[in-house]
Amino acid sequence: MGAPMNVWADSESGLQSRAADAKYLLGSIMATTSHSLVLSSLDGTHDLECAAGAQVYCGVFGTVRSPASLIVGDRVAARVQPVAGSSYATNRVGSMFIPAQLKVLSIDESKPIADTDLGPLDVSRMHLPSRDAKGLARHDIHPGMALHTLLWVDPRSRVRYVAAATSLQ
């Protein structure tokens, strides 16, 4: 599997600041409220205040109304503007996905689970926040297929979900 990626990495930030003042902050969620979250990153703990109407995206569950709906332990990326010290403002925060290539060995038609060479993967919620995201739907996936995927791991259950897939064949 590859390095985690955030699907908004190439989009406009919408923050009302000079581009040089804005950056991405990557980390794991430690706590959330209806308007903010606390991230743990390689360089410490950071408070993020979400602007009104912020785009907040939670793994395969999609867009959520507030940071309170994010999952503690999830790895996220946020486009941020420094405020003071380790505090930041953001209007865009979302889960990171892991790119992976895999081969589908079988699919249990009674459950949305694909057995792959990377182990079992849930294929019940295949969608991404990008309007330009194109890929396979659950019914397009069959045993023997080689796929390029974006995976998301739910930090509560450790279930691995396929968020998007395209065929390598």
* pLDDT interval class at 26 (50, 70, 90): very high
Same domain flag for 58 and 82: yes
Residue 86: its pLDDT value, please? Answer: 86
- The whole-number average pLDDT for the span 105-123 is 92
Q: Which domain holds residue 119?
A: 97-167
Q: What percent of the chain has pLDDT over 90?
A: 63
Q: Return the pLDDT at 46.
A: 95
First to last CA, the chain: 19
- Last-in-domain residue among 79, 96, 113: 96
pLDDT > 70? residue 131 = no
Instruction: Give the pLDDT confidence of 75-108 residue by residue, as tens digits.
Output: 999 999 999 888 999 999 999 999 999 999 999 8
Tell me if the pTM is above 0.85.
no
Q: pLDDT at position 110, please?
A: 85
Q: Are residues 37 and 27 in the same domain?
A: yes
Whether residues 103 and 92 fall in one domain: no
- Domain shared by 78 and 131, yes or no: no
CATH number at residue 60: 2.40.50.140
Listed residues 50, 75, 96: the one ending a domain: 96
Domain boundary among 48, 68, 96: 96
Q: Is the domain of 104 the same as that of 158?
A: yes
Buried b (16+ CB within 10 A) or exposed e, 4-35: bebbbeeeebebeeeeeebeebebebeebeee
Q: Return mean pLDDT, the chain.
A: 84
Q: Is the pLDDT of residue 133 over 50?
A: yes
Split into its structural domains, the chain has a count of 2
Check: CB of residue 7 under 8 Å from CB of residue 97: yes
Within this chain, do residues 77 and 126 fall inside the same structural domain, yes or no? no
Residue 114's pLDDT is: 93
Least confident of 29-33, 68-72, 106-110: 106-110
The pLDDT score that the predictor gives to residue 10 is 33
At 50, the amino acid letter reads C
